Amino acid sequence: MNTKTLSVASIAQLLTAEHTRHQNTINLIASENYATAETRAPLASIAGTKYAEGYPGRRYYAGCAVVDEIERIAQQALLDLFVPKELQAEYHANVQPHAGSSANLAVYNGLLKPGDTILSMSLAHGGHLTHGHAVNLSGKTYAIVSYGVDPDTGLLNYDEIERLAQLHKPKLIIAGATAYSRTIDFARFGTIARSANAFLLADIAHIAGLIAGGCHPTPVGHADIITSTTHKTLRGPRGAFILCKKDLGGKVDLSIMPGTQGGPFMHAIAARAVAFLLAQEQSFGDYAKTVCSTAATLAHELQSRGYHIVSGGTDNHLFLVDLSKTPGLETLSGKEAEQLLEQAGIVLNRNAIPGDTRPPLTTSGIRIGLAAMVTRGAKPADMAQLATFIDTVLRRRETPTTGIDIRAFAHRFTVPA
């Protein structure tokens, strides 16, 4: 890096370049989305100046009257989004977590003691780092028992999860994944947790927007605590929230502040409020349904070209392609596929497939998500073309110079300014 690049102007130029990169490429990263300009506006607002440790009406700083109102709106909008009116008195909303990992850490810190047992999905089968992976604070602090998917079907085996819950009597069970393409049966998880006398945490980071949009069953009524990021299918700003049963609200609040965080980011809370309100509109429900139908169509189009999709398809916004079981591509790693596709203008991530024999930085799979491209206007009818692009690049193992125009396709779907 030379001194010329260490300038304010170079950051502005790089941000323009990042926008151009998005516009020139097809974004299939399952955890990304494009928040609307309305949602992003508060992020640059003066609310970011305000220190407001504490909660509305009980802050450790003066001058919080306005941000108190913002946070109360965010809390109520979150309840309205996920909890039916008649149940709202039983629930508590915390909109302060800076990220999904902060939300999960705060739940563990608030409800568990070091050494307590957590039953959660292993990262290798589609769980999340913060659900107890050995290198994460969660795995270092708690006794982790992992469940995975059935090796033949790629589906969660609820009987096996129940067996593990009865055997290990965890204090907490986590339902939630980053790479599971099928509907999660939160009702069954609730029954399993109650029979084991465990708390149930539903981490809905990937599917929050689908739940809000009415195309995935809700964990409300089944889980004691719900955590989520706000920027994936929910299409908000970066950040997170916790929804929990009222009797756990005090512990959760104290565990966020002062337990694991200091001052909340009031500009981010304002942006979360906008996202929670926009997600209540009919158009958001239509968006969520289109995400699911578009993902299902792309999975089907790839299957018809010989690709092995883990679990045979998708009910949500994402799916995993198992290259090791795709005839003709068995020797192609997820890393090589990711790189070939990026060179061609298709951006996604390599991902371990359940039972992967390759190391995590290499993998035998790729993960494909449609939330971002559907925000840009993609529809099921566009998926045959996209499947042909992916297939052509992976089978030729190079970017074709003739016959396909990925950049022109990407430009049909405008990235929000």
Residue whose CB is less far from ligand DSN, 54 or 365: 365
Residue whose CB is less far from ligand DSN, 139 or 380: 139
The answer to whether residues 94 and 292 touch, using CB atoms and an 8 Å cutoff, is no
Task: For residue 167, give the 3-state DSSP assignment.
Answer: helix
Residue whose CB is less far from ligand DSN, 54 or 100: 100
| Residues 287, 281: Cα–Cα separation, whole Å | 10
Q: Give the N- to C-terminal CA distance of the chain in Å, as an integer.
A: 29
DSSP 229: E
Nearest to 412 by CA among 25, 99, 113: 25
The answer to whether residues 232 and 205 touch, using CB atoms and an 8 Å cutoff, is yes
For 198, phi then psi, to 5°, come to -110, 155
Q: Which residue has the tokens 């974004």?
A: 27
Q: How far is the CB of 26 from ligand DSN (least distance, A)?
A: 17
Q: How far is the CB of 238 from ligand DSN (least distance, A)?
A: 11
Q: How far is the CB of 124 from ligand DSN (least distance, A)?
A: 14
Task: Output the six-digit token pair for 92.
Answer: 């508590």
DSSP-assigned states of every residue in 51-93? ---EETTEESSSS-HHHHHHHHHHHHHHHHHHS-GGGGGGEEE
Q: How far is the CB of 223 from ligand DSN (least distance, A)?
A: 19
Nearest to 109 by CA among 257, 262, 239, 266: 257
Nearest to 322 by CA among 347, 356, 371, 369: 356
| Residues 291, 296: Cα–Cα separation, whole Å | 9
Q: How far is the CB of 275 from ligand DSN (least distance, A)?
A: 17
| Residues 127, 179: Cα–Cα separation, whole Å | 7
Binding site for ligand DSN (CB under 6 A): 31, 100, 128, 178
| Residues 111, 251: Cα–Cα separation, whole Å | 7
Residue whose CB is less far from ligand DSN, 126 or 154: 126
Residue whose CB is less far from ligand DSN, 128 or 171: 128
Q: How far is the CB of 100 from ligand DSN (least distance, A)?
A: 6
Q: Which residues are catalytic?
A: 51, 53, 203, 229, 232, 238
Residue at shortest CB range from ligand DSN: 31
Residue whose CB is less far from ligand DSN, 100 or 132: 100
| Residues 121, 150: Cα–Cα separation, whole Å | 12
- What is the crossing angle of helices 282-304 and 383-396, to 10°? 40
| Residues 345, 409: Cα–Cα separation, whole Å | 10
Task: Output the six-digit token pair for 334.
Answer: 């997820």
Q: How far is the CB of 375 from ligand DSN (least distance, A)?
A: 17
Residue whose CB is less far from ligand DSN, 127 or 170: 127
